[in-house]
Structure 1
Amino acid sequence: MEIILSREITERIPNFKVGIIEYKNIIVGDSPQMIRGRLQLFQESIYFDLENKNVSDLPGIQEWRTIFKTFGKDPNRYRPSVEALYRRVQKQNYLSSVQSAIDINNFFSLQYQVPIGIYDLDSLNGPVCIRLGIEGDEYTGLNGRINSLHHLIVSSDIQGPFGSPFVDSDRAPVTLATKNALQIIYLRPLTDDENSKRLTESLMNMFTQIHGGEASFEIVRCP
């Protein structure tokens, strides 16, 4: 799948980059006990770490709130998806196991304080462009609401936007029937290239350990 990163984003945030992982012939199912247990224990650890702290002061959350502000979105109204996860954990509204692909997505998003999207590749029609949403861009999100995407970073194919570091659409979710998937890691711009590659490859390796199949990754940034 060809991935294009809009210069409109990188002109404002020169170090902006995304990790892209493409999976083929995977098997999605219930999470192994190891994954369910690690997700639960990690959330409990985060909860205690957040005592007497503001979620918005965490480095990754702070960085993504700044990105939203840079493009004209109030992060108090439009929270990055990773911040929403952290706020749930802070309230002890822990994420329960959904299925293997979503659980790993949530685990890595919490671990690295970055938004991560995963999509059924067979539901997309490339190329995929990561760009700024324009007036009129909207979709029904996984939150069940129609979401305006104006001034938000979006991932879009020839049918229009399907994902965002705010909330993903309901058009291309990974399900138990998914065989091929595309994962987008909205990396922190301050993360250097070497650590960006290490993070992305680590996620890819854990994912394929659980789901089988073949995978490849790349870091996409403005040339």
Structure 2
Amino acid sequence: MNLVIEERLKDLGVSLAYTVVEFENGAYSEAIWDELLKPLIAKIEENDSIEMIKDEERMIATKKVYRALGKDPARFRPSSDSLWRRVIQKKGLYQINNLVDANNYFSLLYKLPFGSYDLAKVGETVTLSVGETGESYAGIGKKAVNIENLLVLKDEEGPFGSPTSDSTRGMIGEDTTQAVLIGYVFGDIATADMQQEIKAVVEKYLKDCRVVQQDVI
């Protein structure tokens, strides 16, 4: 796939760390939960607090970009904030499917928004842009998501993803066989190490997984 970031967003320090995979998805992976998510959740519940979210460097960098674009991160929380906050409050995580569960693991681990998108449902060229005035889309688990002034991924059909909440159009299903996992990166982060770990995890925990493309732009 071809990912593009608008120059104004590059100037704000935004980049995308992406991994394209071919795999066989599934409804539930005991290994993903027992070896990845449950230990991480237990660690967060024991050691983390809401105050830590406010002081975490990656959260600060993420929300700085939201504000620069005119979006209030307290009302439209980055998914990384929402997930971390939910675990700290001991509300648990929804179990969705193997790729989405792995996606949430990476978001909790790296304190960055991550999104996974079915490549059969989105265009080959995808641009990171900003939602236009009055723009919205049908969100996963939501009737509508206000994406005005929000970072959005869009193809020739329009926006379908954001670091706050994704649309139903590109959502991952159990029948998904080709997907892109995208980390929305804000500020200076050792993305090479992160990408190496992501590759190792998906190849180990997703059935018949092959990483066919991986890069940071």
Amino acid paired to 2:145: N
For the 8 Å contact 1:86–1:110, the answer to whether it is kept is yes
5+ unaligned residues in a row in structure 1: which ranges? none
2:192 corresponds to 1:197: yes
- Cα 1:95/1:118, change in 2 over 3 Å: same
Amino acid paired to 1:214: R
Residue of structure 1 in register with 2:209 after alignment: 213
5+ unaligned residues in a row in structure 2: which ranges? none
Deviation at 1:150, TM superposition (A): 1.2
Match of 1:199, SS state, is: helix
From 140, 143, 146, the equivalent of 1:142 is 140
Residue of structure 1 in register with 2:185 after alignment: 187
Q: Tell me the distance in 1 between the aligned counterparts of 2:31 and 2:39.
A: 11
Whose strand proportion is higher, 1 or 2? 2
For the 8 Å contact 2:119–2:180, the answer to whether it is kept is yes
> Which moved further from structure 2: 61-70 or 48-57?
48-57
Deviation at 1:116, TM superposition (A): 0.4
Normalised by the length of structure 1, the TM-score is 0.90
Normalised by the length of structure 2, the TM-score is 0.92
- Cα 1:147/1:209, change in 2 over 3 Å: same
> Equivalences for 1:126-141 in 2 at 5 Å?
126-141=124-139
Per-residue CA deviations over 1:92-124 (Å, capped at 9, x if unaligned) read 001143221011101110000000000100001
2:166 corresponds to 1:171: no
For the 8 Å contact 2:118–2:179, the answer to whether it is kept is yes
For the 8 Å contact 1:196–1:219, the answer to whether it is kept is yes
Total equivalences in the alignment: 214
> Equivalences for 1:10-159 in 2 at 5 Å?
10-11=10-11, 13=12, 15-24=13-22, 26-37=23-34, 38-51=36-49, 53-159=51-157
Amino acid paired to 2:156: I
Q: Tell me the distance in 2 between the aligned counterparts of 1:49 and 1:68.
A: 27
Deviation at 1:4, TM superposition (A): 0.8
- Cα 1:65/1:143, change in 2 over 3 Å: farther
Q: Tell me the distance in 2 between the aligned counterparts of 1:60 and 1:145.
A: 29
Of all paired residues, the percent bearing the same amino acid is 24
For the 8 Å contact 1:143–1:167, the answer to whether it is kept is no
